Amino acid sequence: MISYHESIAIKGIACAVPSSIELNADISDYSKEELDKIIGTTGIVARRVAKQGVKQTHLAEKAIEKLLNDNEVNAQEIDIVVVVTQSQDLTLPGNSFILQKSFGFREDCYFLDINQGCAGYVYGINIAMSLMSSMNAQKAIVVVGDIITEYIDSSDSYLKALFSDCVSATLLQSTADSNLSNFSFFQDGNSYDVIHANKDAEDSRLKMDGLKVFNFGLSKLVPSISEFIDSLSISIDDFDFFVLHQANKLLLENIRKRLQIPENKFIYSIGEFGNTSSASIPLSICEGITKTQLKGDKKFLICGFGVGLSWGIGSLQICDLNCSDLIEVE
């Protein structure tokens, strides 16, 4: 199934990360040779790690504040807020309620909290666009990202070397231009336990079968992206940028080569920021593409994949995207 949206544009993105940087080269559990292989394979040199007690909404507030200021939009103008996270501040209610209080979003604004992981940006944008069309809304904000490191056992050097914290906010606005966007989604619930955290288990932290996740990426993503592009009757050459979830550089390079995507169109943020869960696509757009490159009408292919297992692919037409400078939070 493919969803179609028109006359809705992505206008701006702002991302907030913790200021604290951890280097994979400093992980003490591995030899120098092993660390070189980990860094070479994953592509991850540095990660951002939130201090204990920092909540998802703390980073979200910084990102939203920057997004509203840089795009000269008042919180009262926002009609829809979609929050995609696995890092709920409270068991209930969802983080959107906390963000409404922080910014004074209108009572008749539509709020939606979604539990999704690394495919979450694609889900969030698609849902926000669907809601905007059905409600004739003018402006929406999509907040995605996690304090994913809070799920990581600090003695688990394998997972510690991968994950990093970030929350992003994206502004969507209705437009007179046709501005076509398309999305396609997939889910394999048979593999729900490949990446999971069980609050009732003795050890409730994140568990991941890295080899199975990697194999899923090798087997599913290239055919799904190829079919998606074919179904739109366009080609790889029609896209200016390819922004995939930043899971692992070895996997991403495999996908890039098999789809024959030129290196200069394939965007990375994984080296300096690691795997930032659902925020990795907006973070890569802001940190992996220069402001000059974003000028004018650009076509993006985005693809998020991970927990579920789930994966989503999107084609976005974006004109003069306003990427805010990165916010670093204590």
Partner 1 sequence: MMPSRESFLELFENQFENVKPGELTFATPLRSLSEWTSMQALIVLTEFNENYGITLNVDKYRSVQTIDDMYSLVCETLNTDD
Binding stretches for partner 1 (CB under 8 A): 34, 37-38, 41-42, 158, 209-212, 214-215, 218-219, 248, 250-251, 254, 257-258
Tell me the HSE value of 249 on the side-chain side, using a 13 A CA sphere.
18
CB of 308 to partner 1, least distance (A): 17
Taking the least distance from each CB to partner 1, the nearer of 114 and 255 is: 255
Identify the CA nearest to 47 among candidates 214, 159, 139, 177: 159
CB of 228 to partner 1, least distance (A): 19
Looking up tokens 């939070």, which residue turns up?
329
Taking the least distance from each CB to partner 1, the nearer of 131 and 218 is: 218
Residue 316 contacts residue 142 (beta carbons within 8 Å): no
Taking the least distance from each CB to partner 1, the nearer of 106 and 257 is: 257
First to last CA, the chain: 43
CB of 33 to partner 1, least distance (A): 8
Taking the least distance from each CB to partner 1, the nearer of 38 and 50 is: 38
CB of 93 to partner 1, least distance (A): 39
Taking the least distance from each CB to partner 1, the nearer of 119 and 161 is: 161
Phi, psi of 70, deg, nearest 5: -70, -20
Max Cα–Cα distance, the chain, nearest Å = 57
CB of 209 to partner 1, least distance (A): 8
CB of 138 to partner 1, least distance (A): 45
**Separate counts of helices (H) and strands (E) for the chain:** 10, 16
Taking the least distance from each CB to partner 1, the nearer of 222 and 326 is: 222
Tokens of 205: 């932290």
Q: Identify the DSSP state of 266.
A: B
Taking the least distance from each CB to partner 1, the nearer of 100 and 191 is: 191
Tell me the one-letter amino acid at 203: D
CB of 322 to partner 1, least distance (A): 37
Identify the CA nearest to 49 among candidates 161, 170, 207, 205: 161
How far out from the chain centre does Cα 164 lie? Answer: 12
